[in-house]
Amino acid sequence: LRSKGNDTSSGFDHPHAIYEIQVQGELDEGWQQWFGGLRVGSTHTSGQPPVTTLTGPVADQAALRGMLCKLWDLNLTLISVRRIEATGKEETEDD
Amino acid sequence: MTEIHGEPGSMDREGRGKRMATPILSTKLHIPSLRRNLVSRRRLLERLHLGMRRRLTLVSAPAGFGKTTLLAEWIQSLQAVAAPPVKVAWVSLDDGDNDPARFSAYLGAALQQADEGIGQVDGDAFELAGSFLQESHLVHLINQVAVLPQTLVLVLDDYHLITSQVIHDAVTFLLDRLPENLRLVLATRADPPLPLPRMRARGHLTELRQSDLRFTAEEAAAFLNNVMGLDLSAKDVTALETRTEGWIAGLQMAALSLQGHSSYATARSEFIQAFTGSHRFILDYLVEEVLEHQPPALQEFLLKTSILERLSGPLCDSILGEQEGDGLERWDELQPPSSPIPDSQSLLEHLEAVNLFIVPLDNERRWYRYHRLFADLLQQRLQRSQPDSLPALHRRASAWHEQQGLMAAAIDHALAAQDLERAVALIEDNVQATLMRSEVATFLNWVGRLPDEWVRARPTLCFYHAWALLMIGRSMSDVESRLQDVAWDRDSPETSGVMAGRMAAIRAYFSLFQADVDRATEYCHQASELLPESDLFLRSFVVWLLSLASLADGDMQDGSQTLKEVARMGQEMGNPLIAVAAVCHQASLQMRQGRLHRAREILEQALELATDPRGRRLPIASEALVGLGKLWFQWNDLEAAANYLAESIELARQWSEIADFDAYMPLMRIRLAQGDVEAARQALETARQIALKSKITDLDDLVAELQRTYFLISQGDVEGAMRWAEAQGLVPGPSAEPRPALDEAQAPITAHLRKYEHILLARLFIVQGRAAEALDLLESLLTQARQLGRTDLTIEIQIMRALAFQTGGDDGQAMAALGEALSLAEPGGYVRIFLDEGEPVAGLLRQAASLGMTPAYVAKLLAAFSETESAKTAAVPSPPPAQPLIEPLSAREMEVLRLLAAGLSNPEIADELVISVSTVRSHCKSIYGKLNAHSRLDAVQRAQKLGLI
Nearest to B321 by CA among B341, B339, B307: B341
- Quick one: pLDDT at residue B570? 62
- Does residue B261 surpass a pLDDT of 70? yes
- Does residue B90 surpass a pLDDT of 90? yes
A49 at interface of B, judged by CB pairs closer than 8 A: yes
Closest-approach residue (CA) in chain A for B277:
A49
- Does residue B745 surpass a pLDDT of 50? no
Q: How far is B694 from chain A (nearest CA, A)?
A: 28
- Quick one: pLDDT at residue B861? 94
d(CA A74, CA A50): 17
d(CA B151, CA B44): 20
Top-confidence residue, B912 or B302: B302
Q: Which range, of B148-162, B600-614, B740-754, B847-861, averages the lowest pLDDT? A: B740-754
Contacts by B559-566 with C-beta closer than 8 Å and gap 24+?
B559/B585, B559/B589, B560/B586, B560/B589, B563/B589, B566/B540
Interchain CB distance below 8 Å, A73 and B189: yes
Q: How far is A87 from chain B (nearest CA, A)?
A: 26
- Chain A residues with CB-CB distance to B64 below 8 A: 75
Interchain CB distance below 8 Å, A25 and B372: no
A22-37 pLDDT, tens per residue? Answer: 998 888 888 888 888 8
SS3 B942: helix
Closest-approach residue (CA) in chain A for B372:
A73
CB B139 within 8 A of CB B178: no
d(CA A37, CA A16): 14
**A34: nearest CB among B62, B280, B380:** B380
Top-confidence residue, B217 or B131: B217
B523-554 pLDDT, tens per residue? Answer: 988 998 888 888 877 887 787 777 777 666 65
DSSP letter at A26 equals: B
- Does residue B737 surpass a pLDDT of 60? no
Q: Count CB atoms within 10 A of the CB of residue B439.
A: 23
Interchain CB distance below 8 Å, A26 and B279: yes
A:B CB pairs within 8 Å: 48
Phi, psi dihedral angles at B507 (to 5 degrees): -65, -35
Top-confidence residue, B695 or B254: B254
Residues ≥6 apart with Cβ < 8 Å to B284: A27, A28, A31, B377
Interchain CB distance below 8 Å, A26 and B280: yes
Q: Which range, of B92-101, B483-492, B922-931, averages the lowest pLDDT? A: B483-492
Nearest to B544 by CA among B496, B574, B599, B586: B586
Interchain CB distance below 8 Å, A74 and B247: no
- Quick one: pLDDT at residue B873? 59
Interchain CB distance below 8 Å, B284 and A49: no
B447-460 pLDDT, tens per residue? Answer: 999 999 899 888 88
- Chain B residues with CB-CB distance to A4 below 8 A: none
- Quick one: pLDDT at residue B823? 94
- Does residue B235 surpass a pLDDT of 50? yes
d(CA B806, CA B766): 10
d(CA B325, CA B344): 20
Residues 10-39 of A with CB under 8 A from B: 25-28, 30-31, 33-34
- B556-570 burial, b at 16+ Cβ within 10 Å, e below that, comes to bebbbebbebbbebb
Summary mean pLDDT of chain B: 82
B209 at interface of A, judged by CB pairs closer than 8 A: no
- Chain A residues with CB-CB distance to B190 below 8 A: 72
SS3 B561: helix
Give a three-class secondary structure readout of B238-307: HHHHHHHCCCHHHHHHHHHHHHHCCCCHHHHHHHHHHHHHCCECHHHHHHHHHHHCCCHHHHHHHHHHCC
Nearest to B381 by CA among B461, B437, B305, B478: B305
Residues ≥6 apart with Cβ < 8 Å to B152: B86, B87, B88, B89, B111, B114, B115, B118, B145, B181, B182, B183
Q: Which range, of B132-146, B202-216, B430-444, B663-677, averages the lowest pLDDT? A: B132-146
- Chain B residues with CB-CB distance to A76 below 8 A: 281
Closest-approach residue (CA) in chain A for B243:
A25
**A49: nearest CB among B279, B376, B384:** B279
Residues ≥6 apart with Cβ < 8 Å to B763: B710, B713, B774, B800
Nearest to B251 by CA among A21, A75, A7: A75
- Does residue B216 surpass a pLDDT of 50? yes
Q: Which range, of A5-14, B275-284, B760-769, averages the lowest pLDDT? A: A5-14
- Quick one: pLDDT at residue B556? 56
Which of A38, A61, A75 to substitute to test the interface with B, most B CBs within 10 Å?
A: A75
Chain centroid to CA B709: how far? Answer: 32
- Does residue B439 surpass a pLDDT of 60? yes
Residues 272-291 of B with CB under 8 A from A: 279-284
- Does residue B373 surpass a pLDDT of 70? yes
Interchain CB distance below 8 Å, A25 and B279: yes
- Does residue A92 surpass a pLDDT of 50? no
- Does residue B674 surpass a pLDDT of 50? yes
Residues ≥6 apart with Cβ < 8 Å to B782: B794, B797, B798, B801
- Chain A residues with CB-CB distance to B280 below 8 A: 25-26, 28
d(CA B714, CA B721): 10
Nearest to B253 by CA among B286, B230, B209, B223: B286
d(CA B484, CA B468): 15
B403-420 pLDDT, tens per residue? Answer: 998 999 999 999 999 999
B830-852 pLDDT, tens per residue? Answer: 999 999 998 899 999 999 999 98
B221-232 pLDDT, tens per residue? Answer: 999 998 888 888
Residues 366-405 of B with CB under 8 A from A: 372-373, 376-377, 380, 383-384, 387
Residues 226-265 of B with CB under 8 A from A: 247, 249
Can you tell me the mean pLDDT for A46-69? 87
- Quick one: pLDDT at residue B748? 55
**How many helices (H) does chain B have, and how many strands (E)?**
48, 8
Instruction: Name the band, by pLDDT with cuts 50, 70 and 90, for residue B397.
Output: very high
Top-confidence residue, B436 or B664: B664
d(CA B426, CA B432): 11
**A34: nearest CB among B62, B373, B383:** B383
On the 0-12 / 13-18 / 19+ scale of CB atoms within 10 A, B854 is: middle
- Chain A residues with CB-CB distance to B283 below 8 A: 74-75
Percent of chain B past pLDDT 90, that is, above it, reads: 32
- Chain A residues with CB-CB distance to B377 below 8 A: 74
Can you tell me the mean pLDDT for B279-284? 82
- Chain A residues with CB-CB distance to B279 below 8 A: 25-26, 44, 49-50
A77 at interface of B, judged by CB pairs closer than 8 A: no
- Does residue B30 surpass a pLDDT of 50? yes
Chain centroid to CA B77: how far? Answer: 36
d(CA B83, CA B474): 51
- Does residue B3 surpass a pLDDT of 80? no
Interchain CB distance below 8 Å, B279 and A76: no
- Does residue B651 surpass a pLDDT of 80? no
- Quick one: pLDDT at residue B578? 67
Q: How far is B242 from chain A (nearest CA, A)?
A: 14
Radius of gyration over every alpha carbon of chain B, rounded to an integer in angstroms: 34
Top-confidence residue, A52 or B906: A52
**A73: nearest CB among B63, B279, B284:** B63
Can you tell me the mean pLDDT for B317-330? 58
- Does residue B307 surpass a pLDDT of 90? yes
- Chain B residues with CB-CB distance to A50 below 8 A: 279
- Chain B residues with CB-CB distance to A52 below 8 A: 281
Which pairing describes strands B182-188 and B152-157: parallel, antiparallel, or unpaired?
A: parallel
H/E stretch holding B784: helix B771-787
Which of B275, B281, B372 to substitute to test the interface with A, most A CBs within 10 Å?
A: B281
- Quick one: pLDDT at residue B883? 57
- Does residue B92 surpass a pLDDT of 90? yes
Phi, psi dihedral angles at B862 (to 5 degrees): -65, -35
- Does residue B760 surpass a pLDDT of 50? yes
- Quick one: pLDDT at residue B27? 87
Q: Which range, of B171-185, B559-573, B907-921, averages the lowest pLDDT? A: B559-573
Residues 618-657 of B with CB under 8 A from A: none
- Chain A residues with CB-CB distance to B282 below 8 A: 25
Chain centroid to CA B199: how far? Answer: 26
Instruction: Name the band, by pLDDT with cuts 50, 70 and 90, for residue B155.
Output: very high
Closest-approach residue (CA) in chain B for A51:
B279
- Does residue B571 surpass a pLDDT of 70? no
- Does residue B746 surpass a pLDDT of 90? no
CB B191 within 8 A of CB B60: yes
Closest-approach residue (CA) in chain B for A25:
B281
- Chain A residues with CB-CB distance to B373 below 8 A: 73-75
- Quick one: pLDDT at residue B629? 95
CB B600 within 8 A of CB B581: no
**A25: nearest CB among B63, B189, B281:** B281
d(CA B554, CA B563): 14
CA atoms within 13 A on the CB side of B434: 26
Residues ≥6 apart with Cβ < 8 Å to B467: B435, B506
Q: Count CB atoms within 10 A of the CB of residue B302.
A: 25
- Quick one: pLDDT at residue B936? 80
Instruction: Name the band, by pLDDT with cuts 50, 70 and 90, for residue B761.
Output: very high
Can you tell me the mean pLDDT for B687-691? 84
On the 0-12 / 13-18 / 19+ scale of CB atoms within 10 A, A61 is: exposed
d(CA B845, CA B866): 12
Top-confidence residue, B461 or B474: B461
Peptide bond into B84 cis (omega under 30): yes
- Quick one: pLDDT at residue B666? 93
H/E stretch holding B452: helix B452-457
**A74: nearest CB among B376, B383, B387:** B376
- Quick one: pLDDT at residue B934? 75
Q: How far is A29 from chain B (nearest CA, A)?
A: 10
d(CA B853, CA B861): 12
- Quick one: pLDDT at residue B278? 81
Chain centroid to CA B415: how far? Answer: 26
- Chain B residues with CB-CB distance to A34 below 8 A: 380, 383-384
Percent of chain A past pLDDT 90, that is, above it, reads: 21
